[in-house]
């Protein structure tokens, strides 16, 4: 059974930083496409960043490129999202997700391409 456990969310001022962690149980993250998604109230879930199982290819949403960095620690079986220069628009529940295959959807970091999801962690950025 796959279990993804997010942590690291919280309240931060605009311009601040947070690091989210996603600890995986039941899978080896190095063999999966891993992604971070977010959902703000009244909005659809959007892909923030993904990292592929092959060659560590990474993708980022245009709104976070240059501010967020996704990484993976295979020894700890954990995926991270380092978020810097946070803005109030980044406020959302952040979810970790995993896909065992590189599909058109997962390669494009779209939620439809992911099969396993964490429970989410709240990130709130105050202005």
Q: Is the pLDDT of residue 119 over 80?
A: yes
Both tokens assigned to 57: 């290819």
Average pLDDT over residues 46-52: 96
- The pLDDT of residue 53: 84
Closest to 37 measured CA to CA, from 125, 126, 127, 113:
113
pLDDT confidence of residue 42: 94
**Mean pLDDT in the chain?**
96
Average pLDDT estimate for 61-77: 97
Res. 44: pLDDT tops 80: yes
Confidence band for 55, pLDDT divided at 50, 70 and 90: confident
Tokens at residue 6, please?
């997010």
pLDDT at 15: 98
What pLDDT sits at residue 122? 98
- Predicted pLDDT of residue 25: 97
Query: What average pLDDT does the segment 14-24 reach?
Result: 98
Q: What SS3 state is found at 106?
A: helix
For 8, left (φ over 0), alpha (ψ -120 to 50), or beta?
left
Span of 66-70, 71-75, 90-94, 105-109 with lowest mean pLDDT:
105-109
User: Could you tell me the pLDDT band of residue 54, with boundaries at 50, 70 and 90?
Assistant: confident
pLDDT at 110: 95
């Amino acid at each position: 059974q796959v279990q993804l456990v997010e942590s690291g969310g919280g309240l931060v001022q605009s311009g601040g930083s947070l690091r989210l962690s996603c600890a995986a149980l039941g899978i080896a993250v190095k063999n999966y496409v891993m992604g971070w998604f977010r959902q703000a109230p009244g909005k659809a879930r959007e892909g923030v960043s993904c990292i592929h199982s092959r060659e560590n290819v990474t993708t980022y949403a245009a709104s976070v490129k240059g501010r967020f960095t996704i990484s993976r620690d295979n020894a700890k079986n954990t995926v991270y999202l380092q978020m810097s220069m946070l803005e109030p628009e980044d406020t959302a529940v952040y979810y970790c997700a995993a896909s065992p295959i590189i599909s058109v959807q997962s390669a494009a970091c779209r939620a439809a391409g992911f099969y396993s999801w964490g429970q989410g962690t709240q990130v709130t950025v105050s202005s």
